[in-house]
Amino acid sequence: MGRGVLWAAGLLVAAFLLAPILAILPLSFSAGSFLFYPLPGLSLRWYRDFFGSDFWLPALWNSLLIGGAAAGLATLLGVPAAFGLWRLRGAARAVVLGVVLAPMVVPVIVVAVALLLAFGPIGLVATHAGMIVAHAALGVPFVVVTVLASLEGFDAVQLRAAAACGAGPVRAFFRVCLPQIFPGVAAGAVFAFATSLDEVVVALFIAGPAQRTLPRQMFAGLNDSISLTTAAAAAMLVAFSVVLLLVVGWLQGRARR
């Protein structure tokens, strides 16, 4: 009886979380032209439209390019930051951690406005570099958090052991520490990529027509004309997210071994 109630409540919550996603996915396979059920028939026409369109395809490439570069940059910045934080103790650690994690807590709209004001004078608005830097800033906290978590399982004495073997700090990091925290680093990079992939607010503010990402284009697509290609784009984003989630799960499984 008690278990039954728990199961029912659990399924309801799962339905609440998944229903909007599950509702949009079948529409992308509709043979008709409108956002409604029942589907008049099944077809791949909206996917054909998506991959044949110079409205959507550049946005997909932008998303992949900006997301990949931003994830790479966030990882390059986040891993050393996490390593430094791990070695810090006391009040300094709390303060620095607060600063590093700020982009995760501050409302994105505030970050977007600040970036627009800051990027304007230095010519980074409406450039790929600007978008990459902005999304990297949003991704760094995810890298720091996952890398810090995997450093908790790393024995600091090993760095001393590496030094006693004659390895300098840089070599000790790359040969001894990094291989062991690599699953955490990769998971952080995936999170940073995912953050960039579904980010729309900053993109609205600082992306020019040439930098429009997939979510940004969906936003535009919904405003201009409601085409079911938007549903196909949404399905693509969902598919990406599921793949990334699986990758993170796989990495974490590896880390536990």
Partner 1 sequence: MSETLVRFEGVRKTYGAGGPAAVQSLDLDIARGELLTLLGPSGSGKTTTLMLLAGFELPSAGRIMLDGRDIARLPPHRRGIGVVFQSYALFPHMSVAENVAFPLAVRGVSKHDQARRVAKALDTVRLQGLGDRRPAQLSGGQQQRVALARALVFEPPIVLLDEPLGALDKALREEMQLEIRHIHQRLGVTMLYVTHDQAEALTLSDRIAVFEGGRVRQLADPRRLYDRPADAFVAGFVGENNLLPGVVESREELDLRVRLDCGPVVDAQAVDCGGAGERCLVAIRPERVAVAGVTAAELGEGALPAVLTEAIFQGDHVRLRLALGDGGAILAKRPAGMSALPEPGGPAAVAWPEGAAFAFRPPA
- Residue ranges binding partner 1 (CB under 8 A): 155, 157-158, 160-169, 171-172, 175-176, 179-180
Other CB atoms within a 10 A radius of the CB of residue 227 amount to 20
Closest CB 183 distance from partner 1, rounded Å:
11
Judged by beta carbon, residue 172 or residue 187, the one nearer partner 1 is 172
Q: What's the closest the beta carbon of residue 178 comes to partner 1, in angstroms? A: 10
Of the pair 162, 206, the CB lying nearest partner 1 is at 162
Least Å distance, CB 181 to partner 1, is 10
Cβ 177 to partner 1, closest distance in Å? 10
Tokens of 96: 């620095």
Q: Tell me how far, at minimum, the Cβ of 186 lies from partner 1, in Å.
A: 15
CB 203 within 8 A of CB 213: yes
Q: Which residue type does 89 have?
A: R
The H-or-E segment that residue 180 falls in is helix 178-197
Residue whose CB is less far from partner 1, 43 or 180: 180
d(CA 27, CA 25): 5
Phi, psi of 177 (to 5 degrees): -80, -55
Pick between residue 33 and residue 158 the one whose CB is nearest to partner 1.
158
Residue the block writes with tokens 């940073």: 192
Q: How far apart are CA 238 and CA 215, in angstroms?
A: 11
Nearest distance from C-beta of residue 94 to partner 1, angstroms: 20
Identify which of residues 48 and 160 has a Cβ nearer to partner 1 in the complex.
Answer: 160
Q: Residue 119's Cα: distance from chain center in Å?
A: 22
Cis peptide before 58 (omega within 30 of 0): no
In terms of CB distance, is 122 or 170 closer to partner 1? Answer: 170
Alpha carbons 196 and 191: distance in angstroms, whole number:
9
